[in-house]
């Protein structure tokens, strides 16, 4: 057993704070790192010690693995938690951490390498009978051969970069005529984006759901799954709303996908927390896509329905402890939703909106959890991800979780910047979302900025605008905005919120 006594969190924002909190509960000493842009950040204040590692740009600070390891040596740190993003999926960094005699809270560099490359991931899971999307499981460079396979599989097809992932480096091809050109573009893109031109082809699954399974493995060969997260509500590969459990999985399908996810983890001797991503088609066939070898942004919904603290489990496993439960011990209780609150203007093509949080008051009350890294008066830095907070609600069932989310969105007071809160309210009230019958095309199919609550201060103008919007929507045979779409009435803060910045 390797005892961790002092943990460095190699990250910033809400996830740094999230990890520090669990470390504190476990009685660990904590170290934060920060960039010059984050001097006043909450994670810096929360940790026992904090060290500035460089200028604002990530490549000069949060990505400086060498400096971070140096800080560990100076401060007597014995483990590094990478959070998500930044160095979390960098196998070379994990190797250097181990070489320095430190514990990397995450999987082995080997597992990260295997799953970091989509084709090597497919190769690795081959022996386990995991369903894959029809296509090739090897890199393909011969255009004629690729065309032949594409016509066998049937159009439309997707060309994907092996080094890609999360939607990067994908191209849709709808007919043989455009195949050659698209393939050349895909290869060129892959070379310039990843320095690796390997591409493969897959049948394009139209209108899929994105269902991912949380897994947890220890160093003794035990692997369990912690059920699924439904992540189909995305905008340009950026997740907007996640939930657990999914409303489409039957207990049988859940158990089957869970078994497959555990096998994917087994295929790379996975240790720690990881996520196995599947596509689910309209016939409820599922296909393994990729594995994310980190703690994910949306892990709180899994924590809410399982009662576990995933960060604590990660740390215990990293110390060499066996998992304290088996698959049979795990059950789903209730329903959880997560809305990502971004500093983006949904009325203006989701343009990032930086500035000062003039007002920032979090929602509270039963079934509400806010994971964030900001306080009123703080600036949102331009250098990093524009996510301000994760608003998580929990209820006895999906209906209660939705009701609590709508109530929490209404309680949330943010002025000074535009946020995606009104967008979240729109999605949560939409009949397709409420019914549970939606896929990854939800936003494309159902959202235009006209759906949003008008940003005007005069209640009368707001009402007129809402009625006009509803009329326009009816004409287009699209869903009508809910008639109780909030207009600028009620308390002063609400008027402020709707007002100009
Ligand atoms: C696909 C697909 C359809 N067919 N693969 C996008 C993210 C990356 N992990 C894989 N992605 C997709 N792969 C085949 N063969 C559709 C997507 C996709 C998608 C997947 C999950 C959630 C949102 C998405 C949005 C667009 C495309």
Which of 298, 309, 301, 382 minimizes the C-alpha distance to 334? Answer: 301
Position 500 pLDDT exceeds 90: no
Homologous superfamily in CATH for domain 134-203: ATP-grasp fold, A domain (3.30.1490.20)
The DSSP letter of residue 323 is P
Is residue 490 lining ligand 1, measured as CB closer than 6 Å? no
Residue bearing the bigger pLDDT, 343 or 194: 343
Question: Out of 3.40.50.1820, 3.30.450.20, 3.30.1330.60, 3.40.50.20, which CATH number does the structure's domain 6-105 have?
Answer: 3.40.50.20
Position in ligand 1 atom list of the atom nearest CA 440: 23
**Residue-level pLDDT at 463:** 55
Q: What is the pLDDT of residues 107-146, one digit of tens each?
A: 999 999 999 999 999 999 999 999 999 999 999 888 889 8
Distance from C-alpha of 170 to C-alpha of 210, rounded to nearest angstrom: 16
Ligand 1 center to 470 CA (angstroms): 32
Q: What is the mean pLDDT of residues 283-297?
A: 97
- Minimum-distance ligand 1 atom for the alpha carbon of 202: 15
Q: At residue 496, does pLDDT exceed 60? A: no
Annotation says 362 is catalytic:
no
pLDDT at 477: 36
- Residue that is written with structure tokens 């929360």 in the block: 46
The predicted pLDDT at position 142 comes to: 87
d(CA 474, CA 338): 30
* Summary mean pLDDT of the chain: 91
Our answer on whether the CB atom of 240 is closer than 6 Å to any ligand 1 atom is no
CA distances from 146 to 47, 164, 394 (A): 53, 19, 47
> Residue 460's pLDDT is what?
55
Find how far residue 179's CA is from the centre of its chain.
Answer: 32
Interval 281-288 mean pLDDT:
97
**Where in 103-152 does DSSP place strands (E)?**
103-104
State the pLDDT at residue 490.
Answer: 33
Task: Return the higher-pLDDT residue of 298 and 491.
Answer: 298
Ligand 1 contact via 166 beta carbon (within 6 Å): yes
Domain ranges of the chain: 6-105, 134-203, 209-450
Q: pLDDT tens digits for 439-454?
A: 999 999 999 998 886 5
CA of 279 to the centre of ligand 1 (A): 7
Residue 165 has pLDDT above 70, yes or no: yes
pLDDT, position 63? 98
Q: Using a 6 Å cutoff on CB, does residue 14 contact ligand 1?
A: no
* CATH 3.30.470.20 for the 209-450 domain, yes or no: yes
The answer, yes or no, to whether any atom of ligand 1 lies below 6 A from the CB of 158, is yes
Confidence of residue 168 (pLDDT cuts 50, 70, 90): confident
What is the per-residue pLDDT across 344-379, written as a single tens digit (0 to 9) for each? 999 999 999 989 999 999 999 999 999 999 999 999
CA 167 to ligand 1 center in whole angstroms:
6
Q: Is 390 in the pocket of ligand 1 (CB under 6 A)?
A: no
Taking Cα atoms as reference points, which of 412, 427, 411 lies closest to residue 357? 412
Distance 277 CA to ligand 1 centre (A): 10
Query: Whose alpha carbon is nearest atom 10 of ligand 1?
Result: 167
Q: Is the pLDDT of residue 399 over 90?
A: yes
Provide the greatest CA pair distance for the chain. Answer: 67
The band of 498, judged by pLDDT with boundaries at 50, 70 and 90, is very low
What pLDDT is recorded for position 295?
A: 98
pLDDT interval class at 89 (50, 70, 90): very high
Which residue's alpha carbon is at the smallest distance from atom 21 of ligand 1?
A: 210
One-character DSSP codes across 361-373: E---STTEEEEE-
pLDDT at 495: 34
Question: What is the pLDDT, as a whole number, of residue 269?
Answer: 98
Establish whether residue 413 lines the binding site of ligand 1, counting it when its CB lies within 6 angstroms of any ligand atom.
no
For the chain, give the percent of residues with pLDDT over 70. 90
What would the pLDDT profile of 171-219 be if each residue is shown by its tens digit?
A: 999 998 998 899 998 889 888 888 888 899 999 999 999 999 999 999 9
pLDDT of 412 above 50: yes
- Report the alpha-carbon distance of residue 166 to residue 193 in Å, rounded: 14
Q: How far is CA 155 from CA 132, 140, 147, 182, in A?
A: 17, 17, 10, 13
**Ligand 1 and 261: CB distance under 6 A:** no
234/245 Cα distance (integer angstroms): 17
Average pLDDT over residues 229-238: 95
> Which token pair is 207?
């209108």
Alpha carbon distance 244, 436 (integer Å): 12
- Using most ligand atoms within 8 A of CB, pick from 279, 280, 282 the residue to mutate for ligand 1: 279
* CA of 203, closest atom in ligand 1: 15
pLDDT tier at 492, thresholds 50, 70, 90: very low
Per-residue pLDDT band at 164 (split at 50, 70, 90): confident
From the list 294, 340, 362, 398, the catalytic residue is 294
Ligand 1, atom 22: closest residue by C-alpha: 210
- CA–CA dist 232, 161 (Å, integer): 22
Supply the pLDDT for residue 354: 86
Cα(280) to centroid(ligand 1), Å: 10
């Amino acid at each position: 057993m390797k005892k961790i006594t002092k943990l460095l969190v190699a990250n910033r924002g809400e996830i740094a704070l999230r990890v520090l909190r669990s470390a504190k509960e476990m009685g660990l000493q904590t170290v934060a790192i920060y960039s010059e842009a984050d001097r006043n950040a909450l994670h810096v204040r929360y940790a026992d010690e904090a060290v500035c590692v460089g200028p604002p740009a990530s490549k000069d600070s949060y990505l400086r693995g060498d400096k971070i390891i140096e800080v560990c040596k100076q401060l007597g740190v014995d483990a590094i938690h990478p959070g998500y993003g930044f160095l979390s999926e960098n196998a070379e960094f994990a190797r250097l951490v181990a070489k320095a005699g430190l514990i990397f809270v995450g999987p082995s560099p080997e597992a990260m390498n295997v799953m970091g490359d989509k084709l090597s991931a497919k190769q690795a899971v081959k022996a386990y009978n995991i369903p894959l999307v029809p296509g090739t499981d090897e890199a393909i460079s011969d255009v004629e051969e690729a065309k032949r396979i594409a016509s066998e599989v049937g159009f439309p097809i997707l060309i994907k970069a092996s080094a890609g992932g999360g939607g990067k480096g994908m191209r849709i091809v709808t007919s043989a005529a455009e195949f050659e050109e698209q393939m050349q573009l895909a290869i060129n893109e892959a070379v310039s984006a990843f320095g690796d031109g390997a591409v493969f082809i897959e049948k394009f699954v139209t209108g899929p759901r994105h269902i991912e399974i949380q897994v947890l493995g220890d160093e003794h060969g035990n692997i369990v799954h912690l059920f699924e997260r439904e992540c189909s509500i995305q905008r340009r590969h950026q997740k907007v709303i996640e939930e657990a459990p999914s409303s489409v999985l039957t207990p049988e399908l859940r158990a089957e996908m869970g078994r497959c996810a555990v096998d994917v983890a087994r295929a790379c001797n996975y240790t720690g927390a990881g996520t196995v991503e599947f596509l689910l088609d309209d016939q409820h066939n599922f296909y393994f896509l990729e594995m994310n070898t980190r703690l994910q942004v949306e892990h709180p919904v899994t924590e809410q329905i399982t009662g576990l603290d995933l960060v604590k489990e990660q740390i215990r496993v990293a110390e060499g402890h066996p998992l304290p439960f088996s698959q049979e011990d795990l059950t789903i209780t209730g329903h959880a939703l997560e809305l990502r609150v971004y500093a983006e203007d949904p009325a203006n093509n989701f343009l990032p909106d930086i500035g000062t949080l003039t007002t920032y008051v979090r929602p509270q009350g039963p079934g509400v959890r806010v994971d964030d890294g900001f306080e009123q008066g703080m600036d949102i830095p331009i250098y990093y991800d524009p996510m301000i907070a994760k608003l998580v609600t929990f209820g006895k069932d999906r209906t209660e979780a939705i009701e609590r989310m709508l109530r929490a969105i209404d309680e949330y007071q943010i002025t000074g910047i535009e946020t995606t809160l009104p967008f979240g309210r729109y999605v949560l009230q939409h009949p397709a979302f409420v019914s549970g019958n939606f896929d990854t095309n939800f936003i494309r199919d159902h959202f235009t900025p006209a759906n949003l609550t008008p940003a005007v201060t005069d209640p009368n103008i707001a009402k007129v605008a809402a009625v006009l919007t509803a009329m326009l929507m009816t004409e287009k045979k699209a869903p009508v905005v809910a008639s109780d779409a909030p207009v600028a009435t009620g308390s002063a803060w609400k008027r402020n919120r709707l007002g100009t910045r």
